[in-house]
Structures are given as C-alpha cells and as structure tokens.
Amino acid sequence: TRTELSILKKYACAIMEDLGGGDIVELGSGENLKIRSLLDACRSSLADFRYIPVDVSESALFESAMELIDCYPALEVSGIVADFTRHMQHIGGGRKKLFLFFGSTIGNFSDGERAAFLRDIAGLMGPDDRFVLGIDMIKPVPILEAAYNDSEGVTAEFNRNILHVLNRELGASFDPARFDHVAFYDKQKEQVEMHLRANSDFVVDIGDHDCRFLFQEGETIHTEICRKFSRASAAMMAEDAGLKIESWFSDLREWFSLVVMTRSRR
C-alpha cells in the first residue's frame, strides 16, 4: 500500500540501524518497490548484505532481481522460488537475518495458519535476528466497511473473481452475476469478512469432479477474512509465537503499522 511505502521511507534508517550486514529475507516479495527504501538506507554498506526474495513466481523473482542488481551493483541477490507458508526450510541459516513480510497479508490468514507461520519464523530466527511485519490496524467501523464496499465495485469484482477461477480450473458453471458481494466488520473477531451471497436459487456443476451443488437464495460462500489489529492483539499474537515486539512504526492516524519483532528469550 502507499501508506506502508511512506512509513518505510520515513523509518527505513531506524529499521536498518545496527543491522551491520547479513541476509534480508523478503517473504512474498513480488515487486521490489518497498525493499528499495531499506536498501537506500544502507547503500554505503550493501556489499555486507544479501537480499533473498521468496516468491512462488519464478519469472517475477528473476525480473525483480535483475532490476535490483542494475540499481544496486554491490548487492548480492539470491531468490528462492517457494511458497513461504510451506517451504520455510529452504531458507538457510548461518547469517544474521532481517525477515520482511509486508502488505498486511498476515491478516488474510486463519488463526491456525497465522500461528503456524509466525512459529516457523520464530524457529528460524537467531537471537540477533529481526522480523518486520506489516499489519492493518483497527479503524472506525464505517471506514472499514466503506473500504470493502467501494462505490466503484472494485472489491466486489475482486471477490467474484474466485468464481471465474473455479470455472477455469475446475470446469465449474458459476455465474458471477448470481452472487452479490457482501463485506462487513465483525467486532468480536476483529476482522472484515467477505462473502458471496446467492441472489436466487440455482444449481452449479463442477464438471471436472462430477459434482452438483444447489444454492438457495441468501446462502453465502465465505471467501476471505481481513484481520485487523490493535497494539494489544498484535503483542499477544507475537507472544504466542515466541516473538516479542521491539518497536512500532506507524502513520499519523495509526491505521497501518510496521512492527519490528525479535525472538523471545525464554
């Protein structure tokens, strides 16, 4: 997000302070816009660092790596093609590490997935390693719900896109027009939920699996969660995984934060 990028630019020097070299491991790296802010903050000592982007897309990794090498000739780049939620063992040890997980993607994990992922990170971290996590903070409910029910219908189309994927990959017969986009904030769970709600009765066939499903009007498919955090819930999440929060970097409204964590010494 633009907010996350602005936070990075503002606090890059503080995040990189005293790191003194080692591996910068970015999970789900995608484009390289965000990492450049951190690399610029340690440009004079780039030869002491190795950047390790981890992503499922080999082509995206290669393209991003070539761009970074052009911009930072002193930097060593060693990409890993992997699903970071399942293949963390491919990240080698032996050097000090700064782990990065931007984009507030942690909020899209279920409770179990989030706990397992953070425990895996903690298990890879040495006593001097750090983990920078992007998190989306709790905001007033009208603002949250308006963001996921935008007037242009962008989020609605994104939500319905899952049906196009099912049609393409499984030979299904979903008609996206038969589903309404529904998004709301659940205060108890501190998360936005996205659903697709059937607007009539109809049947869907999954051709590749010889399955048929009857949808009744009003029935929903739960498609996504977007967990939001307070400082207290983020601290509890970290503690449960064997991590502790060392510092916070936020925008002025504290609607988005970058949280620096270390491994708990216990």
| Phi and psi angles of residue 43, each rounded to the nearest 5 degrees, phi first | -55, -35
CA 214 and chain centroid, separation: 34
Provide the pLDDT for residue 107. Answer: 93
Residue with the bigger pLDDT between 251 and 86: it is 251
CA distance readout (Å), 262 to 6, 115, 204, 245, 259: 23, 16, 48, 7, 10
pLDDT digits (tens, 9 = 90+) for 162-207: 999 999 999 999 999 999 999 999 999 999 999 999 999 999 999 8
pLDDT, tens digit, for every residue of 20-74? 889 999 998 777 788 999 999 988 888 999 999 988 888 888 888 899 999 999 9
CA–CA separation, 64 vs 26, rounded Å? 12
Q: Are 8 and 262 in contact (CB under 8 A)?
A: no
